[in-house]
Amino acid sequence: MQQSLMENSKLITTSNPDSPIAEAYRSLRTNIQFSSIDVPVKTLMVTSCQSGDGKTTTIANLAVAFSQEGKRVLLVDADLRRPTLHTVFMLSNQTGLTNVLANQMDWEDAVHSTSVDNLFFIGSGPTPPNPSEMLGSKKMNQLIEELSAHYDMILFDAPPSLVVTDGLVLASKCDGVVAVISVGMTKRQQAKKLYASLEHVKAKLLGVVLNNKKKKSKDQLYYTYYGTNRRM
């Protein structure tokens, strides 16, 4: 593994795999696996109310946790408006999902290897004028189906669901959704609105991650997971 990636503080699952935080991501992985026994979760999306809640950090570390288990994992940046996942893995975002959806390239050519074994990545590609339409397209359904045949898990980063509809459009196509609630930032009313929106599109909320950027101990992050195991 590249030293630079090891030192990337956003990927604690690679930089410090023995830490309690990395362990918390592994428990999140296990909880997701057990949250839906009858229908195995293969496609998973992260969402939250607003920008900065910790979606990208959560889905990146979760993807590493799944790949560390030996699963072949594909991480896709479906935050077409403000893509940042490629920076976490220090990869280019010149081409990606939007090119594939616009039939400009085959998905195989959009896949990057990462420095993490078993973990592959498709960036968002150039920002399109119609992100919701793109994610809601038939082409997106076909793509998810094809990717499902090639990977054990497909994890999507997404934009905040109270701000734009893209995430909700994608949520309805995934086997499960994990919501990130930012402790001290997400208001109760916002959280309620997020749950109602997910329920409206019949998304399966598998759990909620409480993300707290400020912990008493200075070098600790704080993650908690509440499984819900119900279709909202």
Interface ranges with Mg ion (CB under 5 A): 55-56
Q: How many residues bind ligand ADP (CB under 6 A)?
A: 13
Q: Which of 45, 53, 128, 167 binds ligand ADP (CB under 6 A)?
A: 53
Cβ of residue 70: shortest distance to ligand ADP, in angstroms? 26
Helices (H) and strands (E) in the chain, counts: 11, 8
Residue with Cβ nearer ligand ADP (54 or 123): 54
Binding flag, residue 52, ligand ADP (CB under 6 A):
yes
Binding flag, residue 172, ligand ADP (CB under 6 A):
no
User: b or e along 105-131 (b: 16 or more beta carbons within 10 Å of the residue's beta carbon)?
Assistant: eebeebbbebbbebbbbbbbbbebeeb
Rounded CA separation 103/97 (Å):
10
Cβ of residue 44: shortest distance to ligand ADP, in angstroms? 15
Binding flag, residue 161, ligand ADP (CB under 6 A):
no
Cβ of residue 186: shortest distance to ligand ADP, in angstroms? 11
Give residue 120's identity as a one-letter amino acid code.
Answer: F
Give residue 169's identity as a one-letter amino acid code.
Answer: V
Residue with Cβ nearer Mg ion (163 or 191): 163
Cβ of residue 171: shortest distance to ligand ADP, in angstroms? 15
The strand ranges marked E within 11-170 are 43-48, 73-77, 111-113, 119-122, 153-157
- Strand 153-157 to 73-77 pairing: parallel
Helix (H) or strand (E) holding 208: strand 204-212
Token pair 């280019």 in the structure block, residue:
92
Binding flag, residue 77, ligand ADP (CB under 6 A):
no
Q: Order of strands, edge to edge, in the sheet holding 222-231?
A: 111-113, 119-122, 73-77, 153-157, 43-48, 176-182, 204-212, 222-231
Q: Which of 44, 54, 95, 135 binds ligand ADP (CB under 6 A)?
A: 54
Binding flag, residue 221, ligand ADP (CB under 6 A):
yes
Binding flag, residue 40, ligand ADP (CB under 6 A):
no
53 binds, options Mg ion, ligand ADP, none, Cβ within 5 to 8 A by partner type: ligand ADP
Residue with Cβ nearer ligand ADP (14 or 211): 211
Q: Taking Cα atoms as reference points, which of 177, 215, 175, 195 lies closest to residue 49?
A: 195
Q: Which residues bind ligand ADP (CB under 6 A)?
A: 10, 48, 51-57, 84, 211, 213, 221
